[in-house]
Amino acid sequence: MDGLFTPGLVAAQQPQWPGGPTGEPVTAAVNTLRSLPPLVFAGECDNLKERIAEAADGKAFWLQGGDCAETFAAATADSIRNRIKTILQMAAVLQYFSSLPVIKVGRMAGQFAKPRSSDSETRDGVTLPAYRGDAVNDIEFTESSRTPNPQRLVQVYNTSAATLNLVRAFTQGGFADLRQVHTWNKGFAKDPRFGARYEEMANEIGRALAFMASAGVDPESFKSVDFYSSHEALILEYEKALTRIDSRTNLPYDVSGHFVWIGERTRQLDGAHMDFASKISNPIGIKLGPKTTVEDALAMIAKLNPTNEPGRLTFITRMGAGLIREKLPPLVKAITESGAKVLWVCDPMHGNTYEAPSGYKTRRFDDVMDEVRGFFEVHKKCGTHPGGVHIELTGDDVTECVGGGEQISEDDLKNRYETACDPRLNHTQSLELAFLVAEMLRDR
């Protein structure tokens, strides 16, 4: 794969590997990765691209969710199952009320590396490298834990493989049966803390399923679902080592996941991440923050999708609840007028983070919902499809975001704050979001 990528470009947010990016430790890890089989099949990436093209045309809805940062320790059966379960529960509600197929995508099986605002962290006068995700170093605040270790990239591969194996087993083996998913949702909707509103919606889905059962409808598509993996393509040594030529098409694919995105902090037009994204054939996403100009967005399209290939490019906007109604319309209008086809996805998490008085990084459920509402309003005004949502969530009962029906307060954050990076919606907050977004989809 040497020669595919443009040499000498600046790669933002890379770890200070011992020995540097071409030293022996990195080379050893990269050689191991290069010898390992793909985690996903390029044909699956193409299938996903086709489905994204449908969503961009208004004929499907995108649901992407998972941890801000996966950890090796949390790659357990329970944790993986709870995350998949949550996403499937959300998808069932969204699908029913939108009457659209829902594309289910995990921020999962590869989301192990993080960009950081500072290279280092200081505690009580001691300064060490910042935690950059389990792909790079360990979160524990000691010199040996925080020293970047490229062998961790091999562990990313192994943990991703194990995660993906369980994801495939759950989603193909009967666990994900739509009727089963509905039974879980009924349980959630009965919780008196949320009022009768969600129960009414769940009952409506129940009646539709009962009607189909009475008519003898028992489609195979109820029993298994397509579930795709995604992560931020951040550590270029890892992503490049897993970029392979597909034997069917002779094109390079990053086979570390079905869909990869470039983050807000690494999307410099002339940087190494954009060069990387421009060379792989996967469907790709770009995060767009509130400073994005129309010129930036059009230049990204020219670089990443010059042929206007359907499904190739997804713009994941993360403006913040206070800015979305002002910042998103000019982008949507200009891109629509240019004729470029993109899928518009709302990340209502990253523009709404703040520090609680107790020091915990958190987000308000109401701000998250307000950004999604703004996203729907803007697309309605522009006549474009609000194509999907991108959510940091977990299937467990953590206390990381405030608000929601459980009324988690800033004081409650300490009870179960477990994230390795940004605060996630818990299981209940995720389902609430799904019901509320489902109403927006129904009324759009």
Give the C-alpha separation, 135 to 258, whole Å. Answer: 19
> Is the Cβ of residue 112 or residue 253 nearer to ligand PEP in the bound state?
112
Min separation Cβ 67 and ligand PEP, Å: 9
Residue 263 binding target from Mn ion, ligand PEP, none, CB below 5 to 8 Å by type: ligand PEP
**Least distance (Å) between residue 222 CB and ligand PEP:** 32
Provide the binding-site residues for Mn ion, judged by CB under 5 A.
Answer: 68, 422
Nearer to ligand PEP (CB atom), residue 285 or residue 395: 285
Question: Which residue number has the CB closest to ligand PEP?
Answer: 263
Closest contact distance (angstroms) between CB of 109 and Mn ion is 17
Residue 287 interaction partner, one of Mn ion, ligand PEP, none, beta carbon < 5-8 Å per kind: ligand PEP
Cβ atoms within 10 Å, residue 58: 14
Residue 64 beta carbon to ligand PEP: minimum distance, rounded to whole angstroms:
10
The Cα-based distances of 311 to 60, 62, 229, 263, 378 in angstroms read 12, 12, 16, 19, 22
Name which of 201 and 272 has its Cβ closer to ligand PEP: 272
* Helix pair angle (427-442, 365-382), 10° resolution: 20
Residue 6 DSSP SS3? coil
| Separation CA 231–CA 113 (nearest Å) | 9
* DSSP designation for 37: P
* Rounded Cα–Cα distance for residues 307 and 315 (Å): 17
Q: Which is nearer to ligand PEP, 265 or 333 (CB)?
A: 265
Indicate the residue among 2 and 355 with the shorter CB distance to ligand PEP: 355
CB of 265 to ligand PEP, least distance (A): 6
By CB under 6 A, is residue 134 in contact with ligand PEP? no
CA–chain centroid gap for 323, Å, is: 21
Is 115 a binding residue for ligand PEP by CB under 6 A? The answer is yes
Shortest distance, position 364 Cβ to ligand PEP, whole Å: 18
DSSP 189-255: HT-GGG-HHHHHHHHHHHHHHHHHHHTT---GGGT----EEEEE---HHHHHHTEEE-TTT--EEET
364 binds, among ligand PEP, Mn ion, none (CB under 5 to 8 A by kind): none
* By the rule CB under 6 A, 350 interacts with ligand PEP: yes
**Site for ligand PEP (CB under 6 A): how many residues?**
10
Asked whether 385 and 55 are in contact (CB, 8 A), the reply is yes
Compute the least distance from the CB of residue 287 to ligand PEP, in Å: 4
Residues 6+ apart with CB under 8 A from 71: 112, 134, 139, 420
Query: Out of ligand PEP, Mn ion, none, which partner does residue 290 contact, by CB within 5 to 8 A per kind?
Result: none
One symbol per residue from 311 to 330: x for binding ligand PEP (CB under 6 A), - otherwise; what is it?
-------x------------
Interaction pattern, residues 256-295, with ligand PEP; x per rule: CB under 6 A = -------xxx---------------------x--------
66, interface contact from ligand PEP, Mn ion, none, CB < 5-8 Å by kind: none
Cα–Cα distance list, 290 to 301, 328, 421 (Å): 18, 8, 22
Q: Which of residues 422-441 bind ligand PEP (CB under 6 A)?
A: 422
Q: Is residue 364 close enough to count as binding ligand PEP by CB under 6 A? A: no
Compare residues 68 and 87 and give the one whose CB is closer to Mn ion. Answer: 68
What is the C-alpha to C-alpha distance for residues 371 and 49, in angstroms, rounded to an integer? 26
406 binds, among Mn ion, ligand PEP, none (CB under 5 to 8 A by kind): none
CB 435 within 8 A of CB 192: no
Asked if residue 138 lies in contact with residue 145, where contact means CB atoms within 8 angstroms, the answer is yes
User: Is 68 a residue that touches ligand PEP (CB under 6 A)?
Assistant: yes
Residues in 206-245 at the binding interface with ligand PEP, rule: CB under 6 A: 232
Distances (CA, A) of 79 to 227, 329, 374, 434: 17, 38, 32, 20
Tokens of 161: 């493989």
Nearer to Mn ion by Cβ, of 74 and 438: the residue is: 74
Buried-state track 21-57, b at ≥16 Cβ within 10 A, e below 16: eeeeebeebbeebeeeeebbebebbbbbbebbbbbbe
Please report how close the Cβ of residue 68 comes to Mn ion at its closest, in angstroms: 3
Q: Which is nearer to Mn ion, 134 or 422 (CB)?
A: 422
What residues line the site for ligand PEP (CB under 6 A)?
Answer: 68, 115, 232, 263-265, 287, 318, 350, 422
